[in-house]
Structure 1
């Protein structure tokens, strides 16, 4: 995962941390300290840590981007959106998960989250994350990558000078692994097609996944059986 304050090159600041019971990676992304930023995948119990990062880097949220609708990636989105008066962006394929988050999980996961209040997870404004964005001074390309969920997306920041391309892959691609497809709405065939698209990204593209450590497309081509 991206360590807090990690710098991935020219004109971008990315800080990240794992949040909640499932250690889902949440990222704060900005052109530089002291300006607008994006919050990517603020999951369970992420809000306090996000606020610490905003204060440390003098940042103000411009939007919350969600790579998919699973509870461990969206649980703090409504709280952060209300506090900053910004919209959340989620692909329409996963929009219903904001109103019925447990319905998108397996029986064992529903049992695990049984004590969590999931009655108010929908942010005040939810915009469709189905097209490229210009936000917080950055161009964010949005690739629809269904398979883990119907509305999974990968967010791309283009290479810039010495900085390689950066991919926020959510639960589509991890270091050495891929997202599970046995949950409601999952599809192994669709995930395979989505991974073929990711395999075509540049060798040095940095992968910031939804769980686990940072990797690169080149490393995954060589070591991840699903990306060969």
Structure 2
């Protein structure tokens, strides 16, 4: 499995292209992704679906433009369907914008999902937002803004909760040490590395 990370948008949210056996998933299109078609062509892959870890503006900003070019399904936690059309819930209004998406997503179910030929385990881990979802594919976890290298997501935005974040951290600490973590911002890490030096894991 190949993972390509492209930071997009004004706050450089990580967008991921996951490629295996000629199929591709895309996680969190935070802004227009002009090079996506070329990446797929170079890797002889077809985009099968889009996954959203959560629906903040910096993770969905390029969603509608992408769907105009690639007619694929979008999957996300149904707790955040309403975020797509609400500038207050998706956070864009707090930063002087009014982002609204017309996408009609499909629900990701807790546990195992077969999406676009990939087996995707979904874990709802609220705290940053009420529907923040970590996707585990093989030996990799895409954590959105739940977990970063050396830190965790902020909890002061709408539907955020520090108590829930603490509970989500407790779940993350039970995952395998060698699980590779691809966060919503910043560099990759592992669960073991975060257990060793992330202050929020102590």
SS in 1 for 2:34: helix
Conserved? CA contact 2:128–2:155, under 8 Å:
yes
Counterpart CA distance in 1 for 2:49 and 2:129 is 22
- Kindly indicate whether residue 176 of structure 2 is the aligned counterpart of residue 176 of structure 1: no
Corresponding residue for residue 193 of structure 1: 167
Corresponding residue for residue 19 of structure 2: 30
CA-based RMSD? 1.6
Select which of 31, 38, 41 maps to 2:28.
41
Give the number of the structure whose residues are more often strand, by fraction: 2
Correspondence 1:40-189 to 2 at 5 A = 40-45=27-32, 47-105=33-91, 110=93, 112-114=95-97, 118-119=99-100, 121-123=101-103, 125-131=104-110, 132-158=112-138, 165-189=139-163
Counterpart CA distance in 1 for 2:180 and 2:136 is 10
Q: Normalised by the size of structure 2, how large is the TM-score?
A: 0.93
| 1:111, distance to aligned residue in structure 2 (A) | 5.2
SS in 2 for 1:169: strand
TM-superposition CA deviations, 1:24-64 (whole Å, max 9, x none): 000001214xx22100001023x213223222212211110
| 1:151, distance to aligned residue in structure 2 (A) | 0.7
| Bigger mean CA offset, 21-30 vs 80-89 | 80-89
CA spacing shift, 1:83–1:104, aligned 2, 3 Å: closer
Q: Tell which has more relative contact order, 1 or 2 (C-alpha 8 A, sep 6+).
A: 1
Corresponding residue for residue 4 of structure 1: none
TM-superposition CA deviations, 1:103-140 (whole Å, max 9, x none): 442xxx635343xx624x122x3101233221233211
Structure 1: unaligned runs, 5 residues or longer: 1-11, 159-164
SS in 2 for 1:48: coil
Structure 2: unaligned runs, 5 residues or longer: none
Corresponding residue for residue 7 of structure 1: none
Counterpart CA distance in 1 for 2:78 and 2:63 is 16
| 1:81, distance to aligned residue in structure 2 (A) | 2.5
> How many equivalent residue pairs?
201
Conserved? CA contact 1:62–1:86, under 8 Å:
yes
